[in-house]
Structure 1
Amino acid sequence: MHSVAILVLDGVVPFDMAAPLQVFDWTRLPDGRRPYRVRLCAESPEVRADGGFALRVDRGLEALADADTVVVPGRSPGAAPPSPRVLDALREAARAGTRIASVCVGAFVLAEAGLLDGLRATTHWAAAEDLARCYPRVEVAPDVLYVDNGQILTSAGAAAALDMCLHMIRRDLGSAVAADAARMSVMPLEREGGQAQFIVHAHPPVPRGSALEPVLEWIEDHLGGEVTLAAMAARAGMSERTFSRRFREQTGTTPLQWLLRARVRRAQYLLENSDHPVERVARQAGFGSPTALRERFRKVVGTTPYAYRAAFHGKAAARETPHR
């Protein structure tokens, strides 16, 4: 039987913990036997969870020594850094060849232990920039569901953790067992790690009172029409060169890149909140044709307009928070 230890640290996000607990615990072999034994472990018997309640945990850090797989869930933003004992236990498990995986911002714990140095890794898209800044030796991939480096795996939000766990089950026991586990979890098996996270791309902030503010408002009001660099510069009363320079200084991007993201955001809104055909969405967002919309939407969001609508149409735009 394969032993899975879920390492629970203070501030653990319950859903991040529940995702691997559920999918491994529900897995069955064709003869009905359980192939995985799942245990919670922690540095101390009682752990504070995100949400204001406490968890009682039976096993300590010694559980990492005899585990075949260790999973580190995400934690709340205000959680204290992992202790040296926790980091040492993870390093020792890695040296012993144990498979180690993280859920969401649990990647920060693996990075702090040095287990992601020189590796490609992911986390929730909203935390990816912080991970890259805090741990420059980690190659952060902000727009994938999970990354498998063989021994070390990282996943994005809690839903992506299910994809990662199903991937590990498929590696361990084959596609048939993984497909059955996916059905038990009401999950599709076919989502691959390289599939993009559904990312909300916010506009770079513009200083309040900036001369760019009325120009950006004008752009937002005219996304469905032809918006050129010359027209933007004219609205600002500047030459194209001066406008481009000041725009980059204040937003960190170019006017045309900002325009592209504004059009993608308009398309996202229409795909979520209307039944308009993609052809009409393309026109209203200023792409002109469905082909142009598909190409640029995939470049920015990482998936197709059709897949995005299937995931979010009719739903509030309440996406995963950074700590999930």
Structure 2
Amino acid sequence: MSGPDDPGEFGEIARLFRPLTGGAAGAFGLQDDAAVVPGRPGFDLVVTKDALVEGVHVPLGEAPDLIARKLVRVNLSDLAAKGAEPVGAFLAVAWPKAYTARDRERFAQGLAADLEAFALPLLGGDTVTTPGPFTASLTALGWVPEGRMIRRAGASPGDRLAVSGTIGDGVLGLAAVRREVDDPDGHLAARYRLPRPRLDLRAGLRACASAAADVSDGLVADAGHLGAASGVALDIDLARLPLSKSAATWLEAQPDAAAALLRLATGGDDYEVVCAIPPDRPTPAGFTIIGDFRAGQGCKVRLGDRPLDPGPGGWRHPLSTD
């Protein structure tokens, strides 16, 4: 039985992570090999998992507390798109040997800040060391009324395509972090580093959406996933793309508006929600209609009447062909 004064891995887990359980009974103080999630009559348990790898999903040398907070938020973004209420999380983290005790403390402090902010208790997990880059994965659990999880597969011809918030701040935020674009007020970098999971949209999504996904890989790619899973085609008009003031200012300075809008619509890391809304349902507050679904296959992107080629539509992990 380990305690906070024990040396080594188990003592560090007790000191850094046991307080993050929030007293959840099923976590057993992180002193067991498993946790228990009690059932909730009338609800389904939704499970999602996302990982962050330094140098891939976050810049090399990113502050450990910021990585932890982004890890929580990208997972909660998936729950938000499913219309789920967060209930708990499991953490797996691989520390590089260069990570010091202070680095691990900073990660735990960032994790604590957002787990508390989103009322998400830590139920368990694992810590290891790695010769590779820093890697962390979170498994997030959420409740949704029975049979009411909003899937990707649910859009029908005639449904409208809608997206929440603003699009393009994520890709511009990464460019701002790299000092490739101006970001005088820090808005863009903050949107990239600390995306806002749209848990506030759950009620509207449950009431109005027939299909939904979060915008992580790029708006065009993630909207295309809805169409592919639903077996329908879709049409996106980038003239309707909702932009923040910062993104609009950047766009005005670009010599090729169409190419610039494609960059914003395919760059990813926005963590907004893209969804299908049947014609007999209202558009939920916070959403903008940007296109529609129709019979057929594929995704057409245009700027008004001008067809555009979005390429792959967003981020894809390159895989070895060996």
TM-score with structure 1 length normalisation? Answer: 0.24
Q: Which structure has the greater CA radius of gyration? A: 1
TM-score with structure 2 length normalisation? Answer: 0.24
Higher RCO (CA 8 Å, separation ≥ 6 residues): 2
Decide which structure has greater helix share. 1
